[in-house]
Structure formats: structure tokens, C-alpha cells
Amino acid sequence: MKHSRLVCTVLACLLATACLSGCSNGRGGTVPADFKEPSADNTHLFGESGLLAVANGEGKVGFIRADGSVALNFTFEGTGIFREGLCPVLKDGKWGYINTLGELCIPYLFDEADLFDNGLARVFQNGKLGFVDTQGKWVIQPQYENLGYFVNGSAVAVKEGKYGLIDRENNTVLPFKYDLIQYAGGGAYVIVEGSVYRLFTAARKLLSTRYEELSAYVNGGIVFRKNGKYGMMDNLGNLLFKTTFDDMDVIREDGYISVYRNGKWGIADRRGNIVVEPRFQRYCYFNEGLAAVALNGKMGYVNERDEIVIAPVYDGAVMFSEGLAAVKVGEKWGYIDTAGNLVIQPGFDYAYAFFNGLAMVGTSQGYGFIDTKGNYVVEPVYSFVTSFRKPYTTVRTKDNSHYLMNTRGELVFGKEYYTYSINYEDFIIISKAVDGVMLYGLAKPDGTVTVEPQYRLLGLPGFNYAPYPTQEN
């Protein structure tokens, strides 16, 4: 995997959704990126400071408050977000740090600068990475090709192309001889040398046991592969269960694991005890106490006592949600309850799970929403919709107009705005094309526009922004 020097720096990137993606472990879990990154409140746009970075048409960056008023004038060429009272900003090609009053607290000295985390910020100078404290003093001089933040007393560092671990005093915890070190979560690290995987535990001990694969630490367990079989241990290296399965997923939040043995799928608990005997043709997991399973080409449901409570007679089936599950009969989808009663007759080309009392369905006319009785709350007239995971969602008409819709089926915004993002709890990002240029603003979920679309860029939580690419550059 190729990494940028500062993972949170995004060049010429508007409303990005990820800086550095993790690696799939092939079984439904995700191994985090190599370096532990500073956490941020990614559910609220204005974060801890109450300020949001925005860029005007000239490419200059300033900060606004939630009511849309300008808090810090448009004098910067790039910026990050505030963490621990400080924010990296770019001026005349160099990065420094300001406080929420706009006062320069750390001079413009760095080629790149990242967020503060536990009193340290990762910065790039003269081709190398190091850490400064909140006073701008060097804690670790710039000397590494890549560098992660500290967790459990250690940070991943790269020197001369090899990975190692250091402590906050820059002492070597693990030597620089490894091909890859990944933060696994739970204070543990995955150490890779050639094709061999080892675990550096949360107790800061490198296990001697060699594995063929290690996953992230998820819900109390790390999946490992040894001699072609899969087992699980905790972040201290304690065995939860030995190599038992041919394949398996990470632990789900309910404590169960999808497992694969002798060509069939089943479900085990976090100790490897079989809950549902592997005999099904499809990966399965519980939701609301039932798991959709495939047997002899048909779908049904099994409970946590390994009893088939809804016979496998359906051509398709999805998870239960709010007491109902979509099932396919022939070419059409309907809904059953947990007793297996067909409560909404098959009549849909597509059917999805219920959220907030509504399910997204599709017909030849388009997409809409039904209630738990099967009545249309929103007629299927839209070319694109998303589920009501919140009390509002986005829909798109066949003429490509975008709207925000509430659970009553009412359109909150009209054609004048494009609903860009509903991923935040406090605001919805809206946009509008003006003279061929897309401008961005903010609105409340009830449709109240608080910031008219007027900015070329909005600084979302967790990211730094380099200069906005104007036509001149």
C-alpha cells in the first residue's frame, strides 16, 4: 500500500471521504491503515472549536461559525481542523498553527503539518517527519520517512524503507527491520516480515508465534491463520479458540462469528463454540435473533438455538429489521414477520430493510418507500433513493433534481439546492451551481438554510486542505 507522508493532508481534494483506506482482510473485517491516526468527531461539522474551514472563490481559506458568520478572515492558503485548541494553517507555502482567535501560536516553519493528538502534532520538514508539542518545540526531530501517532506508548515509524516502533522519547521499541507494521486496534500491532505475521500485544510484548495472516482487533478478538486454518486470540495473545475453521469473519457486535468449514457456513460464539452448525451455502449472521441461511438453493431463517424457524422456501432473503424481512418469491419481493407470515405480498422488483418505519422498494416505475403495512408513503417515482437511517434521506428525480425528504415523504428542499451530504448530525451540506461553478453551503435537517451556497470548499472533519486549485495554477 502506498502512503502519503502526512496521511491527513489532501491535495486539491473537495469534500473527500477518505484519506487512507484500510486493507480488507478478505473475511468482512478491515485491517486499519499502518499508522494510528488522531481521532476526530466525524459526526459534527463544527467539531470542538465551533468553527468550520471554508474556501472562497479566490482560493483563500477562512473559518465560519454555525450561524454562517465569519470568525476568521480569508487569509490562509490551506488549513486543517482544530484539535486540542490548535489548527494547522498554510501561508506563503509553509504550515504553522493558530488558535481559535486566529493568533499564530506556532510559526510557519513546516512543509506539511497535521493535527494534534495527546499534545503532539506530526510535521514534515526537509523531507522528514517528526513531532512538535503545543509550544512548537521539537519532541522528536524530523528523521522518519513515515510516522504514525502514539497509541499504548508506541508509534509506527519508517526509516530507510523498513518499519519499526518507537516510544515518545524516540527510543526504539521494535527495530527497523520489518516490511510492514499495522496498528490492529486495542493497543496491539500486526508485525509483518516477508510472509510471516506476528503480534505485538497490548502488553507491549512481541509474540514468537508465527502466523500466515492476522486481522484487526474487532470486538475483542483477532483472527489468525496458521497451517491453513483459522482461529482467534485477544489483543494480549491469549487464545480464544484454536485453529478450527477453513475461513471465518471477525467478531460481530453481538458476539457471534460467521464460520466456514468443509464448504459450508455456520455461526460460532467468541470462544469458537458452534451455535449454528456449518451446513449452509451462504455466509450468515444474526440480526434481531434470526439469520438468513441458504440450503439447497433456497433461503430461510435459523435462530440462536440452531432451529430452522422459517423454512428455506424463498428465492432470496435479507436480514430482519424492525421485525420484518424482505423475501423473494419467484421474481418479486415481499416481507415476512418473525413467525414466517407473509405480511406484505410480493410485488416489488427490489426490497430493502426497514429503517425508521420505512423500507425502500423498487418497481419498473422507480423507487419509493412503504410502511410496515405495505402502504406507499412515497410513490415509486424516483430514480434514486437511500434508506431512512436517519429521520431524513436524499432522493433524486428522473430529471436529475436532488431533494431532501423526511419520513412523512415531504420534500424539504426544492430544485434550487443539491443535497450533497447527510452524514453529519448537526448540518446537511447543500450545493448549488452558479455560473457553472458548484458552491457549497449548510442547512438544518428541517430545511432551514443557515449558510447559502457560496463557498468553493468546506473543510470536513479529519482532513487538511492544501491550496485550492484556481485556474491560474
Q: Is residue 338 part of a domain?
A: yes
Residue 295 lies in a domain: yes
The confidence score (pLDDT) of residue 181 equals 97
Q: For residue 29, what pLDDT is reported?
A: 30
Q: What pLDDT digit, counting tens, does each position of 68-106 carry?
A: 999 999 999 999 889 999 999 999 999 999 999 999 999
In a domain, 332, yes or no: yes
Q: Is 280 part of a structural domain of the chain?
A: no
Which residues in the chain show pLDDT less than 50?
1-34, 462-473
Strand partners, 213: 225
Judge whether 231 lies within some domain: no
237: closest CA among 195, 215, 261, 207? 207
Q: Residue 455: how many CA atoms within 13 Å on its side-chain side? A: 25
Domains of the chain: total: 1
pTM summary value: 0.84
User: Would 107 be classed as within a structural domain?
Assistant: no
Q: Please give the C-alpha separations between residue 365 and each of 263, 361, 368, 410, 454, in angstroms, as whole numbers.
A: 40, 11, 9, 19, 36
Cα-trace Rg, the chain:
26
Q: Is position 312 within any domain?
A: yes
**What is the pLDDT, as a whole number, of residue 457?**
82
pLDDT of amino acid 413: 75
Q: Mind spelling out the 3-state secondary structure of 410-451?
A: CECCCCCCEEEECCCCCCEEEEEEECCEEEEEEECCCCCEEE
Neighbours of 407 (CB within 10 A): 18
> What is the residue range of 294's domain?
287-347
Which residue carries 508485525 as its cell? 191
* d(C-alpha 136, C-alpha 133), whole Å: 5
Per-residue confidence (pLDDT) for residue 400, from 0 to 100? 82
CA angle in degrees (0–180, nearest 5) for 439-445-449: 45
- Tell me, yes or no, whether 401 lies in a domain: no
pLDDT tens string 107-127? 999 999 999 999 999 999 999
